[in-house]
Amino acid sequence: MTEKHKALCEYLRFLTALSTGSIVFLILFLERLDQPEQARMVTLALTAFMVCVITSVTAYSVTLMNFDKNISYGKLNLSIVAIVMTTGTFTIAISALTVFGWANL
């Protein structure tokens, strides 16, 4: 169980770092565009990255609080939901950024 917890923590840290970096990169990139095409995609991407960071922190916290224990059924469900939301929102954000990038080439 400990190796599984470590792998999960590493995965969540990785997604949190990517999402946070993407938010900063996106904001810096937007300063250089006067009239960006598909501006709604930027809003979607920023929102999805924010949700990704929040759910990653939630799942990471639950995992750390139960690091040396077997996770109870309720906490396991919370972790699974947070991981699915984290992965889903990260995928949505990257997809929205891709559409935005294609529209502004």
Using one digit for the tens of pLDDT, what is the confidence trace for 57-92?
888 887 777 666 665 555 566 677 878 889 999 999
What is the largest distance, in Å, between two alpha-carbon atoms of the chain? 53
Domain count, the chain: 1
| Whether the predicted model's global pTM rises above the 0.75 cut | yes
Residue type (1 letter), 3: E
Q: Provide the pLDDT for residue 25.
A: 85
**Residue 99's Cα: distance from chain center in Å?**
18
Nearest to residue 11, comparing CAs of 90, 97, 95, 98? 90
| pLDDT, tens digit, 9 for 90 and up, residues 37-61 | 777 888 899 999 999 999 888 888 8
Whole domain around residue 32: which residue ranges? 2-103
- Torsional class of 36: left (φ above 0), alpha (ψ -120 to 50), beta (otherwise): beta
The Cα–Cα gap between 68 and 33 comes to 49
Cα separations (Å) of 98 from 26, 64, 103? Answer: 12, 33, 9
**Residue 102's Cα: distance from chain center in Å?**
22
Q: Provide the pLDDT for residue 67.
A: 65
Q: Provide the pLDDT for residue 19.
A: 93
